[in-house]
Amino acid sequence: MKREIKFSLVFRDMWQSAGKYVPTVDQLTRVAPAIIEMGCFARVETNGGGFEQVNLLFGENPNKAVREWTKPFHEAGIQTHMLDRALNGLRMSPVPDDVRQLFYQVKKAQGTDIARTFCGLNDIRNIAPSIKYAKAAGMISQCSLCITHSPIHTVEYYTKMAMELIDLGADEICIKDMAGIGRPHSLGLIVKNIKEKHPEIPIQYHSHAGPGFNVASILEVCNAGCDYIDVGMEPLSWGTGHADLLTVQAMLKDAGYQVPEINMEAYMKVRGLIQEFMDDFLSLYISPKNRLMNSLLIGPGLPGGMMGSLMADLEKNLETINKNNIKNNKPLMTQDQLLIKLFDEVAYVWPRVGYPPLVTPFSQYVKNLALMNVMQMEKGKARWSMIADDIWDMILGKAGRLPGPLAPEIIEKAKIEGRKFFEGNPQDNYPDALDKYRKLMNEKQWETGEDDEELFEYAMHPAQYEAYRSGKAKVEFKIDVAKRKAEKQSNTQPVVTAANTTVAMPTTPQVMTVDVNGQAFRVTVAFGDTTNTATEKPTTPTSTPVTNTIPTGGEGKEVLSPLEGKFFLVKGTSDIPVKVGDTIKEGDILCYVEAMKTYNAVRAEFSGTITSICYSSGDTVSEDDILMIIQ
């Protein structure tokens, strides 16, 4: 009998690799006892990545969610682990150092045992503080090698990185094969090299199923000495998700390894609850294509965790492209055509921006840059004509050192725009900020929470936290769910033969009442073209109230939204927003449109005075919506 292999259920990632959202806290606490009853998991992933931002979008308190979700596993002796983005903490953009330190203290207090830290650039400088802070908080520091396939990312590259992390104090190593494109033989060699020098270091393998390599990879890494395997389970395994528990257990048992038995009655209970949650509303955000494996993913190497939201985003992008095609009498594009164009553009962009490992946030940056290129070129504009500030930070080295060189065309564009490259420690760009957020909370009379967890949440996700506290997030989420359910019902209605007609979507806005924490809000839900539809907002003020002094369409030149997303006047609380009456110059930043997890700056294309600001921060805007008027 060979040695023991243990299993970890990546419950958070199962959902986020399939779609946009994870279950609500009530759903999570319902499924936890059944997962424990399965009796086969040594570890469960309970948090990380977009989890807490999803709570905020739901209008839920994320700290309450983490505490209630981890508690039953802790009591059952099952270790909980979470995903940590190093310099970026739990978000897409870098985090101040004091917020990073508080992060681990809060998560340990809330019941999380293991911090799985990764840097999307594999920059050791970004990971080193996380090792220190996690261990100081009493957590196990598990450090990740972000696996990708390029001329730079070799077995030697990853072996060297693992040794450096262990020398810095990492307790464990995770082979994070986030796109599932690691080649089985090479992955086995990486594990073998680590175990030969450090047999005492536990190794955990995480992989996605999409391109089709990962079952072979699991067997290879186990043969080389891997200790823990991340698995998913139906109905959310395979596709852009993970290998299924039943398959992995049967394969390793046949290979002679000691693997835990599975309580199949409990397995079916968990499987049924997952399906119930999907039927409730979560499947509204899961593309059927994400349930399929696709060897085309070998080329672009996009990670499974990102593919979940990508397919939802593409629906909006496709609509935008086709609106433009209709205007210009061009043929409509299909989603498959857009997907292939995107994959081809990712393959073009990736080496030219220095081969960043395609993992959050840099997979999103590369994908967003490629998608923007596709969309701009479809409109007859130049490639690279729209690059978000966060993407520039990656290119310029502010987020870490890129593995490979930049293409001359990118360097030239940076010079033309007067952008400077950064060679120092990335953390130096993001000074401490807790005192600022503590002061803001005092002014707003908000409690900092048990173990300062509310302070942490505000500092980590300022805009989302304010939308949560105002009630706006919950209203918008419930509206979106209601709209999607109505569209789904309309699409499945049978033909009414007596009248020889079909049941159609409403052609006029429908008013409904949405309950948020016991307070009723009357909202208008529109179907189809929503260009001229207004939504009644909650009476609670938003974080940045804005007053229009001139109605849309008045005198002056219009500033149009370049894409669909959420409107923000500023990116951070320390920024000063423009206001009506301000004089601006060509090239000045007016506002931001947050889309696909990045903030896209909208710059003035002409000088003048702002006479109207047409949206409040956090409002949803469509492409070509009028954001401001400048006279």
Helices marked H in 39-95 — which ranges? 51-58, 62-75
Residues 6+ apart with CB under 8 A from 268: none
pLDDT of 308 over the 90 cut? no
User: For residue range 230-257, what is the model confidence (pLDDT) as tens digits?
Assistant: 999 999 999 889 999 999 999 999 999 9
Query: Would you say residue 519 has pLDDT above 60?
Result: no
Q: Are 455 and 449 in contact (CB under 8 A)?
A: yes
pLDDT given for residue 313 in this prediction: 67
Q: Which ranges in 431-568 belong to alpha helices (H)?
A: 434-444, 453-460, 462-470, 472-492
DSSP 452: G
550 shares a domain with 495: no
Q: Which domain holds residue 387?
A: 295-428
pLDDT at 546 over 80: no
Cα distance from N-terminal residue to C-terminal residue, the chain: 79
pLDDT of residue 574: 67
The tally of domains found in the chain comes to: 4
Asked whether residue 370 carries a pLDDT value surpassing 60, the answer given is yes
Handedness of CA 145, 150, 153, 156 (dihedral sign): positive
Q: Is residue 462 in a domain?
A: no
Element (H, E) at 47: strand 41-48
pLDDT band at 268 (very low <50, low <70, confident <90, very high): very high
Domain at 134, CATH number? 3.20.20.70
Q: Which residues of 152-169 are buried (b: 16+ CB within 10 A; e: fewer)?
A: bbebeebbebbeebbebe
Query: What is the pLDDT averaged over residues 525-548?
Result: 39
Least confident of 283-287, 345-349, 562-566: 562-566
Query: Does residue 433 fall inside a structural domain?
Result: no
User: Taking CA 53 as the corner, what is the angle to CA 489 and CA 485, rounded to the nearest 5 degrees?
Assistant: 5
Report how many helices (DSSP H) and strands (DSSP E) the chain contains, helices first: 20, 20
pLDDT of 303: 67
Q: Which has the minimum average pLDDT: 117-126, 167-176, 255-264, 602-611? A: 602-611
Whether the pLDDT of residue 262 is over 80: the answer is: yes
* Rounded Cα gap, residues 163 and 521, in angstroms: 56
Tell me how far apart the alpha carbons of residues 294 and 71 are, in angstroms, rounded to a whole number: 37
Instruction: Give yes or no: residues 205 and 82 share one domain.
Output: yes
Q: Round to whole Å and give the CA distance between 569 and 576.
A: 9
Give the whole-angstrom CA distance, residue 436 versus residue 418. 30
- Check whether residue 507 and residue 625 sit in a common domain: no
Q: What count of residues does the chain have? A: 631
Neighbour tally for 198: CB within 10 Å: 16
Same domain, 240 and 109: yes
pLDDT tens for residues 71-100?
999 999 999 999 999 999 998 889 999 999
> Within a domain: residue 441?
no
114 forms bridges with which residues in the sheet? 81, 140
Residue 453 lies in a domain: no
The whole-angstrom separation of Cα 389 and Cα 379 is 22
Asked if 165 and 124 count as a contact pair (C-beta separation under 8 A), the reply is yes
Give the model's pLDDT for residue 531: 38
Specify whether 158 is located in the same domain as 62. Answer: yes
395 and 506 in a single domain? The answer is no
Q: What is the pTM of this model?
A: 0.80
- pLDDT (tens digit, 9 = 90+) per residue, 531-541? 333 333 333 33
* Residue predicted with more confidence, 302 or 57: 57
Highest mean pLDDT of the ranges 495-499, 507-511, 551-555: 551-555
Asked whether residue 525 carries a pLDDT value surpassing 80, the answer given is no
Q: Is 204 a residue whose pLDDT tops 50? A: yes
Which of 102-116, 472-486, 530-544, 556-570 is the most confident on average?
Answer: 102-116
Instruction: Give me the residue label for tokens 């995770």.
Output: 174
Examine the fold and report which residue of 406, 428, 450 is the final residue of a domain before the chain moves on: 428
pLDDT at residue number 550: 39
One domain for residues 308 and 278 = no
Residues 508 and 607 in one domain: no
Average pLDDT, the chain: 86
Q: Mind listing the pLDDT tens digit for each residue in 405-426? A: 999 999 999 998 899 999 999 9
State the Cα torsion 546-552-555-561 to the nearest 10°: 80
Tokens standing for 612? Answer: 């109207």
Lowest mean pLDDT among 206-215, 445-454, 485-494: 485-494
Instruction: Provide the pLDDT for residue 305.
Output: 56
Q: How many alpha carbons fall within 13 Å on the CB side of residue 309?
A: 20
Q: Give 599's pLDDT tier (boundaries 50, 70, 90).
A: confident
**447 located within any domain:** no
Give a yes or no: residue 1 inside a domain. Answer: no
Least confident of 31-35, 365-369, 410-414: 365-369
- Are 501 and 419 part of one and the same domain? no
Q: Which of 533, 561, 581 is the last residue of a domain?
A: 533
Average pLDDT on 488-501 reads: 58
> Hunting for tokens 């528990």 — which residue is that?
245
- What phi and psi, each to the nearest 5 degrees, are found at residue 502? -115, 155
Whether residue 309 is contained in a domain is answered as yes
Contact between residue 99 and residue 459 where contact means Cβ atoms under 8 Å apart = yes
- Predicted local confidence at residue 566, as pLDDT: 87
Supply φ then ψ for residue 110, to 5 degrees: -85, -5
526 and 617 both lie in a single domain: no
On whether both 272 and 382 belong to a single domain, the answer is no
Sign of the alpha-carbon dihedral angle for 439, 440, 441, 444? positive
- Please say if the pLDDT value at position 53 is more than 80: yes
Could you tell me the pLDDT band of residue 376, with boundaries at 50, 70 and 90? confident
Q: Looking at 428, 460, 484, which one is the last position of a domain?
A: 428
Tens digit of pLDDT for each residue in 38-49? Answer: 999 999 999 987
- Residue 37 class from Cβ within 10 Å (0-12 exposed, 13-18 middle, 19+ buried)? middle
Retrieve residue 363's tokens.
Answer: 């997979």
d(CA 88, CA 95): 5
Kindly tell me if the per-residue pLDDT of 379 is higher than 90: no
Domain of 561, CATH number, reads: 2.40.50.100
Residue 140, classed as helix, strand or coil, is strand
Q: How confident is the model at residue 390 (pLDDT cuts 50, 70, 90)?
A: confident
How confident is the model at residue 348, as a pLDDT? 92
Distance separating alpha carbons of residues 132 and 73, to the nearest angstrom? 25
Q: Which of 2-11, 149-158, 262-271, 484-493 has the lowest mean pLDDT?
A: 484-493
On whether both 138 and 227 belong to a single domain, the answer is yes
Q: Rounded to an integer, what distance in angstroms lies between the CA atom of residue 366 and that of residue 344?
A: 12
Region for 580 from its dihedrals, namely left if φ exceeds 0, alpha if ψ lies in -120 to 50, beta otherwise = beta
- Please indicate whether residue 616 or residue 504 has the higher confidence score (pLDDT): 616
Residue 116 corresponds to which tokens in the numbers above?
């799985």
Q: Is residue 449 part of a domain?
A: no
Q: Is the pLDDT of residue 515 over 80?
A: no
For residue 55, pLDDT beyond 60: yes
pLDDT score of 497 more than 50: no
Q: Predicted confidence band at 494 (pLDDT cuts at 50, 70, 90)?
A: low
User: Which one has a higher pLDDT value, 232 or 389?
Assistant: 232
15 membership: H or E segment, kind and range = helix 11-16
Question: What's the pLDDT at 552?
Answer: 46
Which range (155-164, 550-559, 584-593) has the least confidence?
550-559
What confidence category does residue 501 fall into, taking pLDDT thresholds of 50, 70 and 90? very low
Residue-wise DSSP of 249-272: HHHHHHTT-B-----HHHHHHHHH
Residue 503 has pLDDT above 50, yes or no: no
Residue (of 68, 65, 46, 179) closest to 116 by Cα position = 46
Instruction: Kindly tell me if the per-residue pLDDT of 585 is higher than 50.
Output: yes
Identify any residues that bridge with 502 across adjacent strands, giving them in sequence order: 495
